[in-house]
Amino acid sequence: MIKLYGIPNCNTVKKARDWLEKNGFAYEFQDFKKIDVSADLLENWLTQIPREQLINRAGLTWRGLESSVKDNIIDNASAIALMRAKTSVIKRPVLVKDSKILSLGFDEVTYKKLIK
């Protein structure tokens, strides 16, 4: 089963959900605001994608953080603590199948290639 992690009111997540539905792919949506984003889940993701990519540094949440908070993201443990405290800082959507990240963000061409 494909899982799509994100926030329902995020435009990029909406595009991904619309694409999945339009193309007939069954998926389970995991709302970052309603589920506990566990340290184990984030640790798994960080074995696949560097924290610099998983943290959305272009987003409003990141830009709104104090410089001291940003400067303290020095390793995976500090990145996980931030992502658990402020789930909106996680780049989204995260498309996962069998615990493996298929895609980070949404790109129609990438989705077409990866989802079978």
Let me know: does 56 contact 64? Beta carbons within 8 Å.
no
pLDDT band at 112 (very low <50, low <70, confident <90, very high): confident
The DSSP secondary-structure symbol of 92 reads S
Angle (CA) 107-97-18 rounded to 5° is 40
Let me know if 10 is a catalytic residue: yes
* Topology adopted by domain 2-114: Glutaredoxin (3.40.30)
Question: What average pLDDT does range 102-112 have in this prediction?
Answer: 93
Paired sense of beta strands 94-97 and 27-31, if any = unpaired
Contact 82, 91 (CB under 8 A): no
SS3 call for 28: strand
Query: Mean pLDDT, to the nearest integer, of 85-110?
Result: 95
**Mean pLDDT computed over 97-107:** 95
Q: Is the pLDDT of residue 116 over 70?
A: no
Q: Which of 2, 3, 7, 10 is catalytic?
A: 10
What is the mean predicted confidence (pLDDT) over 61-85?
96
Mean pLDDT of the 59-87 span: 96
The domain segmentation of the chain, as residue ranges, is 2-114
pLDDT above 70 for 75: yes
- Residue 51: how many other CB atoms lie within 10 Å: 19
Model pLDDT, residue 113: 87
DSSP string, 57-73: TTSHHHHTS-HHHHHT-
Task: Please check the confidence at residue 32 and state whether its pLDDT lies above 90.
Answer: yes
Residue 23 neighbours by CB under 8 Å, 6+ apart: 115
